[in-house]
Structure 1
Amino acid sequence: MRIVLVGPPGAGKGTQAAFLAKNLSIPHISTGDLFRANISQGTELGKQAKAYMDAGNLVPDEVTIGMAKDRMDQPDAENGFLLDGFPRNVSQAEALDETLRDASMRLDAVLDLEVPEDEVVKRIAGRRICRKDSAHVFHVTYSAPKKDGVCDVCGGELYQREDDSEETVRKRLEVYHTQTEPIIDYYRAQGLVVTIPALGKVDEVTKRAMDALQTAKTAAQ
């Protein structure tokens, strides 16, 4: 299957993408991984992206699209892929459609993870990171440390990243609503959108997603 995964920040896209890709035996292609791989490998697109990023500018759509196209052309993506973080706007979605048409392919589904805005804020703003080891992550509600402000693993100080503050999270949501959310209507017009509630345990959400994707696949046949 060829799938685009969408949803607001804090919806659990990265977690679900990993599980879904494994269950479907297709590669998980994330924008972050694309950028890191191209920059570390010193590809021409990576050099272009790094130049924009170093200057504090947004990477143009054509560079991101070029990276995504190169990745989708790899042998392991021959039978499908799951795109996470791309496309981010309607112009990228149109470019993706054109790229797939040129390769005589099409998307099978656009999986929309639906989470109430207040829950998104609660999920992200409640995160606390260990200063000694950033791999140690806690949450004031869902996985609170035994001692407030202290890492259970190494005793390091727990803190809230600036990006996780409620004000920043709400700004990120505004960007999502303005730039990314319109692609849902774009794909809904093509009959591709499958929306599932993304609240609950990870495995419960994964099962909902797998069931919804199977239904979409059967309906398309």
Structure 2
Amino acid sequence: MRIVLVGPPGAGKGTQAAYLAKNLSIPHISTGDLFRANISQGTDLGKQAKAYMDAGDLVPDSVTIGMAKDRMSQPDAANGFLLDGFPRNVSQAEALDEMLRAEGMRLDAVLDLEVPEDEVVKRIAGRRICRNDSSHVFHVTYSAPKTEGVCDTCGGELYQRADDSEDTVRNRLEVYHTQTEPIIDYYKAQGLVVTISALGKVTEVTERAMAALPNGDKAA
């Protein structure tokens, strides 16, 4: 099964992608992982991406598309994949369609995780990270520490990352609405979009997504 996962920041795409990929026995291909892998391995595409990033510039679509094409051509993706963070705009979506057509393939579904904007802000702006270990993550509402501002695990100070502030989150949402959300209409025209609510427990959202996918009951 070949799936594109879309949704606003804070929708839980990374978490759901991992669960869905495991349930469907297909690789989870995220843009972040592609960039890290190519840069750490020193590939030509990785060197190009790093040069743009070091200069503070956006990485061109052509580089991102090249990385995605290379990853999707690997043996473990022969029977499908779940794309997370790619395509990020309509140009990338059109390029993906061309890549798949050239191989005689097509997408099976575009899974749209729907979350109200106020909930997105609440989820992200409420996160608190431990200064001693960034893997220790709390939330002022959903998983509050026993003592405010103190990590339950190691006693370190909890803080809010700059990019988790409400103003920054709303800016990120605006970028999503402007750049990425149009791909939903692009794929709706192809009859591929499956929209599900991303509210509730992680397992509930996963079950909802599996049931909504084409032949989802069999895939589970």
Q: What range describes the TM-score normalised by the shorter chain of this pair?
A: over 0.9
Counterparts of 2:183 and 2:214, CA distance in 1: 22
For normalisation by structure 1, the TM-score amounts to 0.97
Q: Secondary structure at the match of 2:213?
A: helix
Q: State the match for 1:150 in structure 2.
A: 150
Counterparts of 2:217 and 2:194, CA distance in 1: 11
Counterparts of 2:86 and 2:118, CA distance in 1: 24
Which consecutive unaligned segments of at least 5 residues does structure 2 have?
A: none
**Over 3 Å off, 4+ runs:** 214-218
Whether 1:112 and 2:122 are equivalent positions in the alignment is no
User: CA contact under 8 A between 1:115 and 1:198: conserved in structure 2?
Assistant: yes
User: CA contact under 8 A between 1:108 and 1:217: conserved in structure 2?
Assistant: no
* Correspondence 1:33-48 to 2 at 5 A: 33-48=33-48
Q: State the match for 1:64 in structure 2.
A: 64
Q: How far does residue 120 in structure 1 lie from its aligned partner after superposition?
A: 0.2
Counterparts of 1:132 and 1:197, CA distance in 2: 34
User: CA contact under 8 A between 2:2 and 2:109: conserved in structure 1?
Assistant: yes
* Count of aligned pairs: 218
User: CA contact under 8 A between 1:128 and 1:161: conserved in structure 2?
Assistant: yes
Q: How far does residue 96 in structure 1 lie from its aligned partner after superposition?
A: 0.4
RMSD, aligned α-carbons: 1.1
Q: State the match for 2:136 in structure 1.
A: 136
For normalisation by structure 2, the TM-score amounts to 0.98
Q: How far does residue 216 in structure 1 lie from its aligned partner after superposition?
A: 7.1
What is the identity, as a one-letter code, of the residue corresponding to 2:164?
Answer: D
Superposed CA offset, 1:151-180 (max 9, x none): 001110000000000000000000000000
In structure 2, relative to structure 1, the CA distance for the partners of 1:217 and 1:194 (3 Å cut) is: farther
Q: State the match for 2:15 in structure 1.
A: 15
Q: How far does residue 215 in structure 1 lie from its aligned partner after superposition?
A: 4.5
Q: State the match for 1:174 in structure 2.
A: 174
Counterparts of 2:62 and 2:12, CA distance in 1: 27
Counterparts of 1:105 and 1:216, CA distance in 2: 19
Counterparts of 2:49 and 2:206, CA distance in 1: 33
Which consecutive unaligned segments of at least 5 residues does structure 1 have?
A: none
Q: Secondary structure at the match of 2:83?
A: strand
Superposed CA offset, 1:9-46 (max 9, x none): 00000000000000000000000000000000000000
Superposed CA offset, 1:61-105 (max 9, x none): 000000000000000000000000000000000000001001111
Aligned residues with identical type, % of pairs: 87
